[in-house]
C-alpha cells in the first residue's frame, strides 16, 4: 500500500515511540489521525509534523474508549495500534482494576479498533492493520506475567486475523521490538539491557512500521539478532526460556523497569 494518499490512525501518538512512528509516516506523505489522551500534546505533535493532520483524544483504558475512538476517526486506510501500558510487576501487586486497564489498552483496544475499522477497509478492497507487539509476545520474562499475556495474546490475534482477511486486500502485520533505547517503556525506566543483548532505536521501530504498512509482512522483529534468536528459542522451547529467565541476572532489568514505572506514575498511565 502506498502511504502518500492514505489516512492512518495512530494510537499512543504522543509517546516516545509514537512520535517516531508518526514522524516517519508523515514523511511518507500519509495523512494522520493522531490519538492519545492529552489534547494539548496531540495538537503540539500535529503542528510539528509535515502536512495537515487530525487529532482524536481518547482514553483507551476507559470502558468504550476504543469504540469512541473508531467513531471519531472515521474512515481510515491503515491502523497503527501503538498505545500500551507497561504491566510489569509481581501479579499480587496489581489490583483488579489495574489488571483490567492493562488488558484493555494492550489487547482489547487493538482488537476492538480492528473490528470497527477493518470492515471498511475490506469494502474498499485495500488497507493495513499494524499492531505494535513485543518480543515479550514470544518468550516470557520475570515480573511481567500480565504484560507477557497481553503481548502473547496480541500476536496470536494478529496472526489469526491475517488468515481471516487473506484475499480481501487488507493486510495484518505485527511489529515486535525488543529493548528500545531513547524512547518507550524500557528507556523511560532507566533500566539496563541484560548483558550482551543490546538495544534498538525508536527510528528503527518507526521504519519497521512503515515497512509493515507498505509491504504487508507477517511480522517484523526490531532488535539485535541475539535478542531475536533468544525470543525464538523461548517460543520453541519454553522449558529452556523459563529456566533462563528464573535467574537473578535475567530478573534485574524487569525489576528496574517495574520500580521506575511505579515510582514515576501509576500503572494506569499510558506508555508507548
Domains in the chain, number: 1
26-64 residue pLDDT tens:
999 999 999 999 999 999 999 999 999 999 999 999 999
CA distances from 49 to 21, 186, 219 (A): 11, 25, 27
To the query of whether residue 131 is one of the catalytic residues in this protein, the response is: no
* 244-256 average pLDDT score: 58
Q: What is the pTM of this model?
A: 0.86
* Of the ranges 71-75, 86-90, 195-199, the best mean pLDDT one: 71-75
Q: What is the mean pLDDT of residues 136-155?
A: 92
Note down the domain range covering 127: 7-264
The residue-averaged pLDDT of 89-106 equals: 95
Decide if 76 is inside a domain. Answer: yes
CATH number at residue 146: 3.40.50.720
For residue 176, tell me if it sits in a domain.
yes
Q: Which three cell numbers stand for residue 75?
A: 474512515
CB 84 within 8 A of CB 270: yes
Return d(Cα 27, Cα 62) in angstroms, integer. 32
Q: Is residue 2 part of a domain?
A: no
Evaluate if residue 272 carries a pLDDT over 60: no
- Between the alpha carbon of residue 147 and those of residues 24, 54, 90, 267, the distances in Å are 27, 30, 11, 11
Does the residue 1 lie in any domain?
A: no
Give, to the nearest 10 degrees, the angle between helix 145-164 and helix 109-124. Answer: 10
pLDDT band at 267 (very low <50, low <70, confident <90, very high): very low
Does some domain include residue 272? no
Sign of the dihedral through C-alpha 103, 104, 105, 108:
positive
Q: Exactly one of 147, 152, 179, 186 is catalytic; which is it?
A: 147
Q: Is 222 part of a structural domain of the chain?
A: yes
Amino acid at each position: 500500500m502506498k502511504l502518500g494518499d492514505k489516512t492512518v490512525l495512530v494510537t499512543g501518538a504522543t509517546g516516545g515511540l509514537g512520535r517516531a512512528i508518526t514522524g516517519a509516516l508523515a514523511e511518507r506523505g500519509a495523512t494522520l489521525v493522531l490519538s492519545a489522551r492529552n489534547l494539548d500534546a496531540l495538537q503540539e505533535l500535529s503542528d510539528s509534523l509535515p502536512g495537515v493532520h487530525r487529532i482524536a483524544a481518547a482514553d483507551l483504558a476507559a470502558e468504550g474508549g476504543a469504540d469512541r475512538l473508531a467513531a471519531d476517526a472515521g474512515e481510515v486506510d491503515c491502523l497503527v495500534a501503538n498505545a500500551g501500558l507497561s504491566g510489569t510487576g509481581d501479579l499480587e501487586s496489581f489490583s483488579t482494576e489495574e489488571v483490567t486497564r492493562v488488558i484493555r489498552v494492550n489487547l482489547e483496544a487493538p482488537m476492538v479498533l480492528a473490528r470497527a475499522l477493518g470492515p471498511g477497509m475490506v469494502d474498499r478492497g485495500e488497507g493495513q492493520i499494524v499492531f505494535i507487539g513485543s518480543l515479550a509476545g514470544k518468550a516470557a520474562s520475570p515480573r511481567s506475567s500480565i504484560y507477557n499475556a497481553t503481548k502473547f495474546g496480541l500476536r496470536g490475534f494478529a496472526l489469526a486475523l491475517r488468515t481471516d482477511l487473506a484475499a480481501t486486500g487488507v493486510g495484518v502485520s505485527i511489529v515486535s521490538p525488543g529493548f528500545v533505547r531513547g524512547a518507550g517503556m524500557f528507556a523511560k525506566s532507566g533500566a539496563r539491557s541484560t548483558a550482551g543483548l543490546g538495544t534498538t532505536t525508536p527510528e528503527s521501530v518507526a521504519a519497521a512500521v512503515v515497512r509493515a504498512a507498505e509491504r504487508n509482512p507477517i511480522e517484523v522483529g526490531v532488535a539485535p539478532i541475539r535478542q531475536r534468536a533468544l525470543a525464538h528459542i523461548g517460543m520453541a522451547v519454553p522449558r529452556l526460556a523459563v529456566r533462563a529467565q528464573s535467574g537473578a541476572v535475567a530478573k534485574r532489568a524487569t525489576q528496574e523497569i517495574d520500580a521506575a514505572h511505579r515510582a514515576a506514575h501509576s500503572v494506569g498511565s499510558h506508555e508507548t
